[in-house]
Amino acid sequence: MPQLHVKSLISLVLVAIAGAACSTSPTGRSQVVLKNEQELAVESARQFAEMKANMPLETDRAKIDYIHCVAQAVVMELPPEYRDLEWEMAIFQSDAVNAFAMPGGKIGVMTGILKAAQNQDQLAAVIGHEIAHVTARHANERASRGSFSNVGVQVAAVLLGGGHQGATYSAYEALQAGAALGIMLPFSRSQESEADVIGLEYMAKAGFDPRESVPLWQNMGQEAEQAPAEFLSTHPSSEKRIDQLVGQFGPTLKLYNEAKQAGKTPSCSM
């Protein structure tokens, strides 16, 4: 059984590598991705290690064990090629309402996310969503699209900081360091919506209630200091996102009920 190696990180940075190929995402969407997944994973590991070395890590054992419990349950429901990775998780002391996952099996969680993810099911929705970006190869696809301007870097840093002042400067610095390598942030709306769908499937298969994704995003909306119009953001609006999530309850509740019948009853708490 694979285990998450918990240490305790802050933002998301990935590199673009030459050589793209056409592919299909898990939901059937056409995408262009890089051929060399291993190179991307190696660079992600390097960036992940650098951030861990420079960002404050969480030391509260109860928080660490709680987040690890949820993440471990979700990871066990991934497709074999991802489930069998040596996943590593870093938990950062930060007020930012945020989390991320990187190619090669890296997960970063800011403790500020617990303000919005108020129970294990809501946290599973967050982690399932972020891991779905990896399994759908969104970072790979994004890295194939080219580079961005300094303005884009600043916007991405604000998004990584969850709209809060805390951690925004560090996120900006990390993005600036990787900009020369062709890093592309943030994810597109279509990728965000796709990660929602795939993430719901993962959490439901693990025995977490997918219906809790709705109050999660309601909480996220309340935590946001400012909600830009949808066309100004790569994220779907909260209302549209919730409508899309509710539209997935048919198949995901079926998976959830099957998981419960199979004895999958996560009990993660602080």
> How large is the average pLDDT for residues 161-178?
43
The per-residue pLDDT for 161 is 36
Q: Which residue has the higher pLDDT, 48 or 231?
A: 48
pLDDT at 251 over 60: yes
Neighbour tally for 29: CB within 10 Å: 14
β-sheet bridge partners, residue 108: 90, 100
Q: How confident is the model at residue 43 (pLDDT cuts 50, 70, 90)?
A: confident
CB of 164 within 8 A of CB of 10?
Answer: no
Give the active site residues: 130
Report the distance separating Cα 57 and Cα 187, nearest Å: 25
pLDDT tens sequence across 48-69:
888 898 889 999 999 999 999 9
> How large is the average pLDDT for residues 65-80?
96
- Residue 19 Rama label (left phi>0; alpha psi -120 to 50; beta): left
**Window from 8-22, 185-199, 221-235, 248-262 with minimum mean pLDDT:** 8-22
| Candidate ranges 100-109, 119-128, 214-223; pick with highest mean pLDDT | 119-128
pLDDT at 160 over 80: no
Residue showing tokens 């950062």: 92
Q: How confident is the model at residue 168 (pLDDT cuts 50, 70, 90)?
A: very low
The per-residue pLDDT for 175 is 47
**Window from 79-93, 128-142, 147-161 with minimum mean pLDDT:** 147-161
> How large is the average pLDDT for residues 24-28?
58
Q: Could you say which DSSP state residue 261 is in?
A: H
The per-residue pLDDT for 240 is 81
The per-residue pLDDT for 14 is 38
Residue showing tokens 């929602």: 196
The per-residue pLDDT for 37 is 73
C-alpha dihedral (151, 154, 159, 162), degrees to nearest 10: -150
pLDDT at 20 over 50: no
The per-residue pLDDT for 82 is 93
β-sheet bridge partners, residue 33: 21
Burial of 112 (0-12, 13-18, 19+ CB in 10 A): buried
Which long-range contacts (C-beta less than 8 Å, at least 24 apart) are formed by 222-227? 222/116, 223/97, 223/115, 223/116, 223/162, 223/163, 224/97, 224/162, 224/163, 225/163, 225/164, 226/163
> How large is the average pLDDT for residues 238-262?
92
Report the distance separating Cα 205 and Cα 6, nearest Å: 23
The per-residue pLDDT for 223 is 77
pLDDT tens sequence across 182-216:
333 567 778 888 999 999 999 999 999 999 999 99
Amino acid making up residue 207? G
pLDDT at 127 over 60: yes
